[in-house]
């Protein structure tokens, strides 16, 4: 099962490159310096071009558990915005803090999308790369945070994509989607 309907909202699970998601905003799994890095962050910075660094530099960074929004640089329409969400480095010693910070990054991304009156957004699996958040623990936090936010803010978005880069990542999200139906 790769789609969930929440009221008039469509949650979708897809495999691919988030740069090609075809949504008004894509979310970058950013680091707190907003300077680009590896994984999703590096791919988005390469696609958006050097002007993205100039756009993010003006913020002077972003705290963990939050997000900032910029233009999309060279990424073609329909993508107009990049939301740079800073998730936590996973801590098995303080899982509650890791969950809270990860949920905060997703929630702030949605708030920024709503503030711009966007109708579509695509999320990667934030913090599950070099930040070490186990994918099977991150997926429920991500999906449930989005569902809760959208139930509390009906009509704010019409389409939310969770973009998994690999088949194993897709299966983790697919298993959680299936548990919700």
What's the residue count for the chain? 181
Q: What dihedral do alpha carbons 82, 85, 89, 93 form, nearest 10°?
A: -150
Q: Considering the candidates 2, 17, 41, 94, report the single residue annotated as catalytic.
A: 41
Query: Is 94 a known active-site residue?
Result: no
> Would you give the DSSP letter of residue 181?
-
Three-state DSSP at 69 gives strand
Using CA atoms, how far apart are residues 130 and 24, in angstroms rounded to an integer?
27
Maximal CA-CA distance, the chain = 43
Which residues are marked as active site? 41
């Amino acid at each position: 099962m790769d789609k969930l309907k929440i009221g008039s909202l469509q949650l979708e699970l897809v495999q691919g490159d988030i740069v090609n998601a075809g949504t008004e905003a894509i979310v970058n799994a950013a680091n707190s310096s907003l300077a680009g890095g590896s994984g999703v962050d590096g791919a988005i910075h390469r696609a958006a071009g050097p002007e993205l660094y100039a756009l993010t530099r003006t913020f002077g960074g972003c705290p963990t558990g939050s997000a900032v929004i910029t233009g999309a640089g060279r990424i073609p329409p329909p993508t107009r915005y990049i939301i740079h969400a800073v998730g936590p480095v996973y801590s098995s010693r303080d899982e509650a803090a890791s969950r809270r910070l990860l949920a905060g990054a997703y929630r702030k991304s949605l708030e920024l999308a709503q503030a711009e009156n966007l109708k579509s957004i695509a999320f990667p699996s934030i913090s599950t790369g070099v930040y070490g958040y186990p994918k099977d623990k991150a997926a429920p936090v991500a999906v449930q945070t989005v569902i809760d936010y959208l139930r509390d803010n009906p009509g704010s978005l019409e389409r939310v994509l969770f973009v998994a880069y690999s088949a194993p990542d897709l299966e983790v999200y697919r298993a959680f989607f299936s548990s919700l139906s």
